[in-house]
Amino acid sequence: MSVGAIEVTGTDRLSEPEVVAALAVPEGTPLMQVDTSAAAHRVAGIARVAEVSVHREFPSTIRVDVMERVPVAYRDSGDGPHLLDKLGVDFAAEPPPPGLPKITMADPGDAELLRAVLQTVGGLPPELRGQITSIDVGSPSDISFGLTDGRTLVWGSVERSGLKAPVALAVLHQPGQTIDVSSPNLPTTK
């Protein structure tokens, strides 16, 4: 009843050897002596890992279930683009995948606002989120999205986003370069 195999599930961008190295559980270790919490904590130290669980499977396997961070937007930095998840965690400095919106903030140090905006974007219906090419944040009440067709969607603040999203989808077919759903009860286009 010692570690004879390590099974890793849920990886896409991470490699199994990266996860096994961070796990740091040598083969031959008695299974009951493996501190699964400490092992999970070590794997969670990988920036790309959002969630992880480590389990013993008798008679001789350690199972590692990984959930990787999903990029919601990216921002440019001095060393290139950085991927951000819905919590605002900067988890990778690499070229963004196609279609990922770029976020620009007047106050790039406002982590709370960044997190609120990215959670809002991450929670939008896919048919709306897929049309967003840029996210411009001037202030907490001045958020707008650049769309794939070159138009601008004025969002306002993150409040009432659950109402703004269906309204935006309903008025996107209307003519005009600017669609304003900052007041979702009275959307406008111009």
Say which CATH number the domain at 34 has.
3.10.20.310
**CA triple 31-32-37, angle to 5 deg:** 95
Same-domain pairing of 49 and 95: no
Nearest one of 14, 95, 22 to 6, comparing CA atoms: 22
* Residue finishing a domain among 68, 94, 123: 68
Same-domain pairing of 135 and 77: yes
Mean pLDDT calculated for residue range 78-86? 94
Same-domain pairing of 106 and 166: yes
Mean pLDDT calculated for residue range 83-109? 95
Q: What's the chain's average pLDDT?
A: 95
Q: The domain spanning residue 150 has which CATH number?
A: 3.40.50.11690
Structural domain containing residue 18: 5-68
Same-domain pairing of 59 and 86: no
Same-domain pairing of 82 and 32: no
Same-domain pairing of 59 and 84: no
Same-domain pairing of 57 and 122: no
Same-domain pairing of 44 and 87: no
* Residue finishing a domain among 68, 88, 116: 68
pLDDT in tens, 148-162: 999 999 999 999 999
Same-domain pairing of 95 and 170: yes
Q: Who contacts 151 (Cβ-Cβ below 8 Å, separation ≥6)? A: 176, 177, 178, 179
What integer pLDDT is reported at residue 132 of this predicted model?
97
pLDDT in tens, 32-58: 999 999 999 999 999 999 999 999 999
Same-domain pairing of 41 and 75: no
Same-domain pairing of 81 and 122: yes
Same-domain pairing of 144 and 170: yes
pLDDT at 167 over 90: yes
Q: Are the beta carbons of 39 and 20 closer than 8 angstroms?
A: no
Q: Who contacts 140 (Cβ-Cβ below 8 Å, separation ≥6)? A: 113, 116, 157, 158
